[in-house]
Structure 1
């Protein structure tokens, strides 16, 4: 029961983020934004959908329960969600699940972007570890951590190339604070 309640909350959060992303996409495209990386976006969608299906299958089939240190894991998960909110609010209308770039936009490294280039991808990577670990779904943890690394090895270069090509991204990155 706890597993399904948790899962519903996470899925509702993700679906609401897709609504925000679609609204931001429409706004950016109305300003002349272009989309890059269309060819791999479907793999990103399949990765995230497959993650939830695999998680449900593993937890159900093996009758997994909460990990003994679930309180710590849940605390870490809540922290990642606060960081996710910081990421999304830092980018505002420019945040999206797709690679959408507004040509000639001035990139400003603020929020977590002052410290790391791709905080949202770090958060997702941590979630792909925390959520399965919370419910002892070790196969899901290993499989989707590896698949996520593979997809990000395509996604991040595509995103950076689009940003370098159409914005002042390189100058903004060079001005980042180093931690």
Structure 2
């Protein structure tokens, strides 16, 4: 159980690192005229991710969830791969990556890294991690609840992001 607690703490530290990077990127974007879209759903996303980490810990400790090696190790592998995909997305987007939807005018869409393959690869990572991380220690209630909440949030988020990207494409001059 202590190993799972440490894993959740490490993921929490990773989230804090993401927020630090996002804050720096938000300042950069705003200094270049960046416009934020969809502020209304952002607090829900933050609450869901805090709930994922806190819920997994509470469920593991309070309901005495067992570590089942075949499930735990395979889900840990999925969670680690999801983190790798998330940071590949961050690297591919560079300063344009953010936890918020901020569009800097006149920049072309990113089409490198995982964005060559998928329109929203970061959300693949979020879905995979939301299922896998709690299941490392058989916290299936947290995995189920987060997944249901997250699906609703991602629906709003992807709709907002697609609208913002369409708007950006309409204002970006064609390459010469």
TM-score normalised to structure 2 length? 0.91
The residue that corresponds to 2:174 in the other structure is none
Structure 1, unpaired ranges of 5+ = 170-179
Give, in angstroms, the shift of residue 76 of structure 1. Answer: 2.2
Q: For the residues of structure 2 that align with 1:116 and 1:168, how far apart are their CA atoms?
A: 21
The residue that corresponds to 1:86 in the other structure is 88
Give, in angstroms, the shift of residue 168 of structure 1. Answer: 5.9
The residue that corresponds to 2:61 in the other structure is 60
Cα RMSD, aligned residues only = 1.4
Q: Contact 1:106–1:168 at 8 Å: present in 2 too? A: no
Report which stretch shifted further, 102-111 or 9-18: 102-111
Q: For the residues of structure 1 that align with 2:79 and 2:164, how far apart are their CA atoms?
A: 31
Counterparts of residues 1-179 of structure 1 (less than 5 Å): 1-69=2-70, 70-167=72-169
Q: Contact 1:107–1:168 at 8 Å: present in 2 too? A: no
TM-score normalised to structure 1 length? 0.90
Q: For the residues of structure 1 that align with 2:31 and 2:92, how far apart are their CA atoms?
A: 21
Report which stretch shifted further, 68-77 or 135-144: 68-77
Q: Report the number of matched residues.
A: 169
Q: Contact 2:66–2:137 at 8 Å: present in 1 too? A: yes
Q: Report runs of 4+ in structure 1 exceeding 6 Å deviation.
A: none
Q: For the residues of structure 2 that align with 1:141 and 1:8, how far apart are their CA atoms?
A: 17
Q: For the residues of structure 1 that align with 2:170 and 2:74, how far apart are their CA atoms?
A: 40
